[in-house]
């Protein structure tokens, strides 16, 4: 009984990280071309060998992937899954004191479903209710691990900024309906710009205070330290380059505005998110060194998202911007591979360029490309086995490995369903008819 329950909770009990050899696959490395009939050796959670011919280590488990494809694990640069108790702290214009890290919910079924869509890493962002939002971080989809176990260890954390309609409308009764919370500054795009600029003025003063304290301490004095302010601390980290800025943005003018604020204050925008008008200012984005994380063909859900084209990803790529395609949605997250495929039709990207939009490029944007994003010796064994060409809408994920551990196996999932269903039915029946759980001495009472 206990065993059954445990397996039901973990859905797929991850196997121990053992040595695997994936054989006879079409290996799409993304960084080093595609190998037909290739093999990958997975050892100690890392990719140990890739090629047409590999040495099979003793004791290795063979995964025959004949007629199948292997890609790097898909990376989603914009997701909101796996959080508890809301992903927007919308009560304040600058909510940089809050942290997604505090509310990771490893039990969110969306994690498992993303995994089943081949996603191995996702950048979990704060919402876009405020000009400066909360702290963010990338997670690995290690379904079954605890909150700590999901965190992409060593990855640089981020912070969410937001421009345009969302931050200026949030909390404003005019846009938020009759039950909206009282109006909150800002209410215009000018106001958004002002909030961000003011926040960095404050952050610089805060930083100066701490720098002075550190200097005094270095001189051997023992001054009273300044008050630590969580809101300012996050922005201080931005100024020090220790925290990546991910900016929710749509219109070309506000993208340029954000670049100006960043330049004035001496920090870099790491990525523009959504960035549907990015194709208009791709040169400027590339010059700033920012990445762009966009949709393939999702737009027109609000006025600022009208002037969009499916060529956006391809056009920005050709101007030298590191581009990724993200989901911003638990459902879209499950088929980012076919989203990437659309960039081949619209804009003529190569297979490799298209696949990079959901693997190597988001890895670069998150500063984790030394660990994930392509199939190379020494990188984390985050791998997806597809039954068909991965950029096709017909491709289905067969197996997903993270750190060399199988976290999703289509066959196990399907064959395990009946047992899980039966276990659940047992509990439902027991609750409906709790006979046997009542003590013998209990008086008979009508069911309540």
Partner 1 sequence: MAIRNAKIVTGAGPVIAKGTVVVRKGLIEAVGENVPVPADAMIVEGEGLTVYPGLIDSLSTLGQPGAITAATANAGRGGRGQNAAPATTAAPVNPLAALAAAATLTPVARGPEDRPQTTSWIKIADEVSPNDRRIETVRAAGFTTVASFPTRGIFAGQGAVIDLLTGEKPGEMVMASPIGQYISVTRSGGFGGGFPSSLMGYLAYIRQLYIDMEHYKLVKDAYAKNPRGMQRPEYDRALEGLLDSPRILLPANRAVEIERMLKLAQELRQPTVIYGGRETFRPEAVAALKKYNAPVLVNMKWPEKARDTDPDEVDSMRLLETRDKAASAPAALAKAGVKFALYSDGMDVPRDLQRAVKKAIDAGLSREDALRALTLSPAEIYGVADRVGSIEKGKVGNLVVTRGDLFDDRTKVEMILVDGRKYTPPTDAAPFGGRGATVTDDPGAAGGKR
Residues of this chain that interact with partner 1 (CB under 8 A) are: 5, 8-9, 83-92, 95, 97-100, 102-103, 105-107, 126, 134, 146-147, 171, 181-182, 224-225, 227-231, 420, 423-424, 427-428, 430-431, 437, 439, 441-443, 445, 448
How many other C-beta atoms lie within 10 A of the C-beta of residue 120? Answer: 29
Provide, rounded to whole angstroms, the least separation between the CB of residue 184 and partner 1.
8
Provide, rounded to whole angstroms, the least separation between the CB of residue 84 and partner 1.
4
Q: Would you say 351 and 28 are in contact if contact means Cβ atoms under 8 Å apart?
A: yes
Q: Strand 405-409 to strand 271-274: parallel, antiparallel, or no bridges (unpaired)? A: unpaired
What is the three-class DSSP state of 74?
strand
Provide, rounded to whole angstroms, the least separation between the CB of residue 187 and partner 1.
15
Provide, rounded to whole angstroms, the least separation between the CB of residue 132 and partner 1.
12
Residue closer to partner 1 (CB basis): 89 or 380 = 89
Provide, rounded to whole angstroms, the least separation between the CB of residue 85 and partner 1.
2
Provide, rounded to whole angstroms, the least separation between the CB of residue 59 and partner 1.
31
Residue closer to partner 1 (CB basis): 107 or 376 = 107
Provide, rounded to whole angstroms, the least separation between the CB of residue 92 and partner 1.
5
Residue closer to partner 1 (CB basis): 106 or 347 = 106
Residue closer to partner 1 (CB basis): 37 or 86 = 86
Residue closer to partner 1 (CB basis): 129 or 391 = 129
Residue closer to partner 1 (CB basis): 52 or 102 = 102
What is the three-class DSSP state of 82?
coil
Give Cβ neighbours of residue 76 (< 8 Å, ≥ 6 apart): 114, 119, 121, 122, 123, 326, 327, 333, 336, 358, 362
Distance CA(86)–CA(180), nearest Å, equals 16
How far CA 96 is from CA of 46, 134, 164, 187, 340, in Å, comes to 35, 4, 18, 19, 32
Give Cβ neighbours of residue 102 (< 8 Å, ≥ 6 apart): none
Residue closer to partner 1 (CB basis): 5 or 62 = 5
Length of the chain: 448
Distance CA(433)–CA(110), nearest Å, equals 32
Residue closer to partner 1 (CB basis): 58 or 174 = 174
Residue closer to partner 1 (CB basis): 199 or 305 = 199
Provide, rounded to whole angstroms, the least separation between the CB of residue 181 and partner 1.
3
Cα-flanking dihedrals φ and ψ of residue 187, to 5°? -120, 0
How many other C-beta atoms lie within 10 A of the C-beta of residue 134? Answer: 26
Place of tokens 């960039």: 343
Of 115, 117, 97, 98, which Cα lies nearest the Cα of 106?
Answer: 115
Distance CA(185)–CA(172), nearest Å, equals 8
Of 377, 428, 302, 312, which Cα lies nearest the Cα of 72?
Answer: 377
Provide, rounded to whole angstroms, the least separation between the CB of residue 105 and partner 1.
6
How many other C-beta atoms lie within 10 A of the C-beta of residue 299? Answer: 18
Provide, rounded to whole angstroms, the least separation between the CB of residue 169 and partner 1.
15
Provide, rounded to whole angstroms, the least separation between the CB of residue 216 and partner 1.
15
Q: If residue 371 lies in a helix (H) or strand (E), which one and from where to where?
A: none
Residue closer to partner 1 (CB basis): 126 or 335 = 126
Q: Would you say 385 and 63 are in contact if contact means Cβ atoms under 8 Å apart?
A: yes
Cα-flanking dihedrals φ and ψ of residue 279, to 5°? -60, -25
Residue closer to partner 1 (CB basis): 90 or 341 = 90
């Amino acid at each position: 009984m206990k065993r059954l329950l445990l397996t039901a909770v973990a859905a797929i009990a991850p196997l121990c990280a053992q040595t695997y050899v994936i054989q006879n696959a079409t290996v799409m490395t993304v960084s080093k071309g595609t190998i037909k009939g290739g093999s990958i050796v997975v050892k100690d959670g890392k990719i140990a060998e890739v090629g047409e011919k590999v040495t099979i280590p003793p004791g290795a488990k063979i995964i025959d992937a004949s007629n199948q494809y292997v890609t790097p694990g898909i990376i989603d640069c914009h997701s909101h899954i796996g959080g508890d108790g809301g992903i927007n702290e919308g009560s304040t214009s600058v909510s940089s004191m809050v942290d997604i890290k505090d509310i990771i919910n490893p039990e969110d079924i969306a994690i498992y479903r993303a995994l089943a869509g081949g996603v191995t890493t996702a950048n979990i962002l704060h919402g876009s209710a405020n000009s400066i939002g909360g702290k963010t971080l990338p997670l690995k989809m290690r379904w079954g691990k605890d909150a700590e176990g999901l965190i992409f260890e060593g990855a640089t954390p981020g912070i969410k900024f937001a421009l345009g309609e969302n931050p200026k409308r949030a909390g404003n009764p005019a846009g938020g309906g009759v039950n909206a919370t009282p109006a909150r500054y800002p209410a215009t795009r000018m106001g958004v710009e002002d909030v961000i600029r003011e926040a960095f003025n404050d952050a610089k003063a805060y930083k100066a205070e701490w720098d002075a304290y550190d200097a005094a301490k270095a001189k051997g004095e023992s001054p009273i330290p300044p008050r630590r302010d969580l809101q300012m601390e996050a922005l201080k980290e931005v100024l020090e380059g220790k925290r990546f800025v991910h900016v929710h943005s749509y219109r070309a003018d506000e993208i340029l505005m954000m670049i100006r604020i960043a330049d004035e204050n001496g920090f870099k925008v790491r990525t523009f998110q959504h960035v549907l008008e990015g194709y208009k200012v791709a040169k400027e984005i590339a010059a700033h060194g920012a990445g762009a994380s966009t949709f393939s063909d999702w737009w027109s859900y609000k006025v600022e998202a009208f002037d969009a084209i499916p060529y956006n990803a391809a056009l920005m790529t050709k101007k030298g911007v590191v581009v990724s395609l993200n989901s911003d949605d638990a459902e879209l997250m499950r088929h980012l591979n076919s989203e990437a495929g659309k960039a081949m039709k619209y804009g003529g990207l190569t297979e490799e360029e298209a696949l990079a939009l959901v693997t190597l490029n988001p890895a670069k944007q998150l500063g984790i490309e030394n660990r994930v994003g392509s199939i190379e010796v020494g990188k984390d064994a985050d791998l997806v086995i597809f039954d068909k060409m991965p950029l096709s809408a017909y491709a289905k994920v067969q197996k997903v490995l993270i750190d060399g551990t199988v976290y999703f196996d289509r066959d196990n999932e399907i064959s395990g369903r009946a047992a899980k269903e039966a276990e659940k039915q047992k509990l439902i029946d027991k609750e409906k008819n709790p006979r046997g759980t009542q003590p013998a001495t209990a008086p008979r009472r009508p069911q309540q």
